[in-house]
Amino acid sequence: MPVRPDLRDGLPSGRPLRLVAVHAHPDDETLATGLALAHHVEAGDEVHVVTCTLGEEGEVITPSLAALEGDGPALAKHRRGELDRAMRRLGVRHHLLGGEQPRWRDSGMAGSPAAAHPQAFSGADLEEAARDLAALLQGVRPDLVLTYDPWGGYGHPDHVQTHRVTARAVELLAEGTPGAAPRLYVALVPASWAREDRRWLAAHVPDGTRSPAGGLVRVPGPDDPCPPNVVADDLVTHAVVDEGALPRQRAALAEHPTQVTLHEGWYTLSNDVAARLPGREGYAAWPASREALARAQGEPPA
């Protein structure tokens, strides 16, 4: 198995680093990059999270809170509270894209009516949103920025848009001050890790486990398709491996009960599919990995 450098490789070692993770909805930050955030917090680095929408279209898996689903303003308010508590658990500084009241809202899944909303983030003007984010980043002056891969992890339109906006914002910073832009990394999963995680889940998820709503939890089989963020091992150039940071990540996930059900070493979302919390995350530098990913995965969504 390749030995991948940590995200701090090649960066200044004489001071705390500044890291920003940019995400589409509350809970994404902890699910997709939570281990890296926890790892850097525990190393004494300055860690920030930017959230682009408040997740108005999210499914609610907690039966006692089911009335929130479909009520965009009420769900946004509730998820903002979850997000605030999760950020305190992680120990990071939090920002909403566009200010105290986000300019854009959750677009919902591809093809949903929410995508037609005039404030849907997936339809936001790329340059406008990127300028907003670039201004925020300029104030933080990060060494590192983390976000989704070009396919948005599993294809959610807001995740795809977040990748585009973040990549363009970093470009704007580079254009404004050549050589001073932060390093940008996209989150990826090596295929060998995905296979190991499925074997682990098959051995550790009890048969007959049910979700809070009563659905039967399913463990993905070895031949089930993987989401687009699972790629050939050689495309993943960096890694954060730190089981010691898992308690902090788990504590933050526990603050997102409308979206996540935690178990011992694993969790489920609204699809009732078991996913592992493995104490490791993979990344690749962007745009250095653009061409290799396009060759391997095909062109990302337009």
Is residue 3 a part of any domain in this protein? no
CB 268 within 8 Å of CB 39: no
**ω into 287 cis (within 30 of 0):** yes
Write the single-letter amino acid at 67.
A
Q: What is the DSSP code (8-state) at residue 102?
A: -
> Does 13 score more than 90 pLDDT?
no
Number of domains the chain is built from: 1
Q: Nearest-5° angle of CA 176, CA 180, CA 182? A: 105
* 25 CB-contact burial (10 Å; exposed 0-12 / middle 13-18 / buried 19+): buried
What average pLDDT does the chain have?
Answer: 96
Other beta carbons within 10 Å of 93: 14
Residue 8 is assigned to a structural domain of this protein: no
Residue 1 lies in a domain: no
Distances (CA, A) of 70 to 58, 60, 75: 8, 9, 8
The reply to whether 204 falls in a domain is yes
Q: Is 302 inside a domain boundary? A: no
Helix (H, G, I), strand (E, B) or coil at 189: strand
| DSSP 8-state code for residue 2 | -
Give the number of other Cβ atoms within 10 Å of residue 193's Cβ. 20
Q: Is residue 127 part of a domain?
A: yes
pTM above 0.95, yes or no: yes
Mean pLDDT on 80-95: 98
Across 188-215, average pLDDT:
97
* pLDDT confidence of residue 75: 98
State yes or no: pLDDT of 1 exceeds 60: no
Residue 71, both tokens: 């009520």
Confidence check: pLDDT of 140 > 60: yes
Give residue 114's domain range. 18-288
CATH code of 220's domain: 3.40.50.10320
Which band of pLDDT confidence, cut at 50, 70 and 90, is reported for residue 2?
A: low
pLDDT band at 208 (very low <50, low <70, confident <90, very high): very high
Does 12 reside within a domain?
no
**What pLDDT digit, counting tens, does each position of 39-68 carry?**
999 999 999 999 999 999 999 999 999 999
Confirm whether 301 is domain-assigned: no
- How far is 74 from 80, CA to CA, in rounded Å? 10
Return the structure tokens found at 238. 């960096």
